[in-house]
Amino acid sequence: MRSFMKSALPLFALLFSLVVAGPALATDLDSAKAQGLVGEKLNGYVGIVTAAPAPDVTAMVNDINLRRRASYQEIAAKTPGATLNAVEKLAAEKLIAKTKSGQYVETAPGKWAKKP
C-alpha cells in the first residue's frame, strides 16, 4: 500500500483538480456544504445530509459523484497495484481532512456529524 501511495501522489493532484471541475460547480458544492445540505462521505463521494433535498441538490450530488467515480477509475487504471476501492478511500481521507469546520462529514455509514 505504501508503494501505491508514493507512486500515486502526482495522480492525486490530478484527482483533486478533476474533482473540483469548474468554478461554478465548486461554488455550488461549497454553498451546499456551508448550508448543511451535503457532506463528504467515507467512500470518497458526496452525500445528502438533509431528509428531503431539493431536486437541484440531488442532481448536483449525482453529477459530482459521477465525475469523482470517473476520476477515481482513471487514477486506479493508471496506478500500478491500485484498486478503485483504495483510490476511493484515500480520496475520502483527503476530502474529509479538507472539509471546513462546521460542515458535515460521515463518521460511520449513514451517520453524519459536523466537523469540529
The rounded percent of the chain whose pLDDT value lies above 90 is: 77
Query: What is the mean pLDDT of the segment spanning 9-27?
Result: 50
Within a domain: 115? no
Bigger pLDDT: 92 vs 22: 92
Question: What radius of gyration do the chain's Cα atoms show?
Answer: 14
Statement: residue 11 has pLDDT above 50: yes
Q: Say what the pLDDT of residue 111 is.
A: 96
Nearest by Cα to 71 from 5, 23, 16: 16
How many domains does the chain divide into?
1
d(CA 12, CA 27): 21
Whether residue 103 lies inside any domain: the answer is yes
Structural domain of 8: 2-110
Q: Domain for residue 53, yes or no?
A: yes
Is 76 a domain residue? yes
Please give the average per-residue pLDDT across 6-25, as a whole number. 50
Supply 52's cell numbers.
428531503
- Tell me what pLDDT residue 6 has: 58
pTM of the model: 0.78
